[in-house]
Amino acid sequence: TDTGVSQELLEAGRRAYELDREHVFHSWQAQGPFKPMTIVKTEGSYVWDGEGTRMIDLSSQLVNTNIGHQHPRVVAAIQEQAAQICTIAPQHVNTARSEAARLIAERTPGDLNHIFFTNGGADAVEHAVRMARLHTGRHKVLSAYRSYHGGTQLAVNITGDPRRFDSDYSSEGVVHFMPAYTYRSYFGSETPEQETERALRHLEDMMVLEGPKNIAAIILETVPGTAGIYAPPPGYLAGVRALADRYGIIYIADEVMAGFGRTGQWFAVENYDVTPDLLTFAKGVNSGYVPLGGVAISDAIFETFRDRAYQGGLTYSGHPLAAAAAVATIGAMTDEHMVENAERLGREIIGPRLQEFKAKHPSVGDVRGLGCFWAIELVKNRETREPMAAYGGSSPEMNQVVAAIKAAGVLPFNNFNRIHVVPALNIPDELLIQALDVVDRALTIADGFVTG
Ligand code: PMP
């Protein structure tokens, strides 16, 4: 097959870049200095940049394209749906939406049997919180520092990372607590077991001091993603579940990034044997081919809305094109055993290789993850764990490491002092190994910045 890029496509890409700089307002950026990368073509685990250079996509486009790019089954499903019905209002029944809801409900754990569709992750978080508030009649929401829950007003307030600082108003009822994070423990823990015990004691203190009868929900990314892919220590989420039950608080698992196979299970909570009351999803549900998100709702919360209207909705809720893409994506993931493959890639290839990086590169402070969801945390000094870029910021050193990875033909996802290894769940083994070889070489550059 032709993997090259035509002159016409490159010319169109150059024109697109000019128009972008003139008219497109980009998220999370100072508009002036921003130099976005043009992508003129995508296929499988490859993307082609504005010069026509082919790169291995180790980012999955914000941990989104779990099935890779341009999967033929999904492209065909979108085309077929478009030829049939492009759009209907949310109150009407549509085959694609009904089928998507069934496929999702069959895969979510426990009694999360009812699906409310949204356009993406932030609005899924906002609706989940609203449902929890209406169900409990309480208003407060507990969320973790070092978390990311979305860019709309309430979701960004709930977010526990510095991106909320510029928009930190009207956050009525939002209370942040310290998460369990063994590598940078806030509790001085030296083992994961200690971290679990201390983080749970802190969380219970927070609940008691905030007044449980006012707390509607606790929201947690099952494996915090953007904040560093730090999987919870053993027993932590089971402890959260128990505390939520003790105080009548709704447990919302935010699986916008960790869901749909990313961790080697359909949903990340399955790794920890817990079932939340509400579970938010987006991204991997249809690999982002058409915008879609949603909330999976337990039978008990569903009962609250059996006779009482849920006063919330979206014109595009369960949009047929997005739902058809979800049906085809979940079908392809199932038939091609992508979830099992993600588990294998983590266990056989990514995990061992990252451990090797840690053993040989003094700049690697910590490596962690599961499935196709891993982070490498870079430090200037292993003793002090001084990060190679401050939390919430960048640094010339990190920029140089990331530039070296890109120059060698790999598109990484990096945040602050971390390089995330988040390929498609179906990336061919040899491509993944090739990409990890590139990261390995770039870490040698990082080693040069180590001071301690
Ligand atoms: N929750 C989590 C855990 C996320 O990772 C994200 C997006 N990265 C969101 C919510 C927000 O999703 P969206 O950007 O689709 O609104």
pLDDT one-digit tens code per residue, 80-94: 999 999 999 999 999
Instruction: Return the pLDDT at 197.
Output: 98
Q: Considering the chain, what percentage of its residues have pLDDT values greater than 90?
A: 96
Cα 393 to ligand 1 centre (Å): 19
Q: From the alpha carbon of 282, which atom of ligand 1 is closest?
A: 15
Mean predicted confidence (pLDDT) in 63-68: 98
Cα 208 to ligand 1 centre (Å): 29
Cα 8 to ligand 1 centre (Å): 35
Instruction: Return the pLDDT at 452.
Output: 79
pLDDT one-digit tens code per residue, 416-447: 999 999 999 999 999 999 999 999 999 999 99
- pLDDT surpassing 90 at residue 2: no
Cα 263 to ligand 1 centre (Å): 16
Cβ(47)–Cβ(431) below 8 Å: no
Burial class (CB in 10 A: 0-12, 13-18, 19+), 243: buried
Task: Tell me which of 19-23, 107-111, 227-231, 390-394 is least confident.
Answer: 390-394
Which residues contact residue 447 at a Cβ distance below 8 angstroms, ignoring those fewer than 6 apart? 361, 362, 363
Cβ(197)–Cβ(207) below 8 Å: no
What is the DSSP track for 196-250? HHHHHHHHHHHHHHH-GGGEEEEEEESS-TTTT--PPPTTHHHHHHHHHHHHT-E
Give residue 169's pLDDT band: very low, low, confident or very high (50, 70, 90). Answer: confident
Q: Which residues line ligand 1 (CB under 6 A)?
A: 62, 120-122, 125, 148-150, 221, 225-226, 254, 256-257, 282, 293
Q: Which of 198, 159, 164 is nearest to 181 (CA)?
A: 198
Q: Considering the chain, what percentage of its residues have pLDDT values greater than 70?
A: 99
Enter the tokens of residue 354. 């990252």
Question: Based on C-alpha coordinates, what's the Rg of the chain?
Answer: 22
Q: From the alpha carbon of 125, which atom of ligand 1 is closest?
A: 10
Mean predicted confidence (pLDDT) in 118-145: 98
Cα 23 to ligand 1 centre (Å): 25
Instruction: Tally Cβ neighbours within 10 Å of residue 89.
Output: 11
Task: Tell me which of 52-61, 69-78, 170-179, 294-303 is least confident.
Answer: 170-179
Mean predicted confidence (pLDDT) in 175-200: 98
How big is the CA angle at 158 (ends 157 and 161), to the nearest 5 degrees?
A: 80
Three-class DSSP category at 365: strand
Instruction: Return the pLDDT at 292.
Output: 98
In the chain, the domains with their CATH numbers are 7-70+337-447 (3.90.1150.10), 73-335 (3.40.640.10)
Instruction: Return the pLDDT at 1.
Output: 40
Best residue among 60, 61, 149, 267 to mutate for probing ligand 1's pocket (most ligand atoms within 8 Å of CB) is 149
pLDDT one-digit tens code per residue, 219-267: 999 999 999 999 999 999 999 999 999 999 999 999 999 999 999 999 9
Give residue 3's pLDDT band: very low, low, confident or very high (50, 70, 90). Answer: low
Cα 2 to ligand 1 centre (Å): 34
Kindly report the average pLDDT of the chain as a whole number. 97
Which residues contact residue 26 at a Cβ distance below 8 angstroms, ignoring those fewer than 6 apart? 34, 36
What type of residue sits at position 71?
A: H
Instruction: Return the pLDDT at 240.
Output: 98
- pLDDT surpassing 80 at residue 362: yes
Q: From the alpha carbon of 152, which atom of ligand 1 is closest?
A: 16
| Predicted ipTM > 0.85 | yes
Cα 287 to ligand 1 centre (Å): 13
Cβ(179)–Cβ(146) below 8 Å: yes
Best residue among 60, 257, 281 to mutate for probing ligand 1's pocket (most ligand atoms within 8 Å of CB) is 257
